[in-house]
Structure formats: structure tokens, C-alpha cells
Amino acid sequence: MAVDGGDPANTGSTLVVVQLEDVDDNRAVFTERTYQFSVPENSAVGALVGTVTAVDDDLAPFNAVYYHLLQDSSRGFNIDPHNG
Ligand SMILES: [Ca+2]
Ligand SMILES: [Ca+2]
């Protein structure tokens, strides 16, 4: 609202639309602190061991999550980059 210096003062008002834009301020967080999977010793090569899930509270595109294994722990295992 705007007010002039008159007596009595005249006023005017207008509608202000504020549009919030998301910024990338959230990091991906796993839904579990620890995942534990068991693998039968006679499992076929390529058998699914388990699935992990992480979420990011931002809006797209800042909430995209990609998965990869650390090099030290990846021997013999693969992870789907999109599905965990
Ligand atoms: Ca994010
Ligand atoms: Ca955000």
C-alpha cells in the first residue's frame, strides 16, 4: 500500500505476486542409514543383491539422484545408476 502526504491521506494498493524459485540446497540422503543384504553362495553372476534408495528434497532438476559404488567396495558388484 502507498500513502501520500495529504490530509486526509490518499492511499493506493496493488497486488504483488511473489514466485519462489527452488535452488539446489538439499543433498541426496539414503532412506536407511545402513543396508544389509545376504547373498547365497550359489547365486548366479548378475543376480540382484538388493536395492538402495536415496531422496533429495529439491524440485527437478535439483532432485535427480544417481548411484555409484565407491571404487574400494565395488569389486564384483555393480549398481544401477538410476535405480540403485
Ligand atoms: Ca539437490
Ligand atoms: Ca531447494
Cα gap 66→20, rounded to integer Å: 26
Buried-exposed string 37-73: b where 16+ CB fall within 10 A, e elsewhere: eeeeeeeeeeeeeeeeeeeeebeeeeeebebeeeeee
**C-alpha 15 to ligand 2 mean position (Å):** 26
Ligand nearest to the CA of 22: 2
CATH number 2.60.40.60 given to 21-84: yes
Per-residue pLDDT of the chain (84 residues; tens, 9 = 90+): 999 999 999 999 999 999 999 999 999 999 999 999 999 999 999 999 999 999 999 999 999 999 999 988 788 899 999 999
Residue 59 corresponds to which amino acid? L
* Ranges of each domain in the chain: 21-84
pTM: 0.73
Q: Which three cell numbers stand for residue 61?
A: 532438476
**C-alpha 50 to ligand 1 mean position (Å):** 24
Which of 15, 24, 33 lies closest to 62, judged by CA? 24
**C-alpha 71 to ligand 1 mean position (Å):** 23
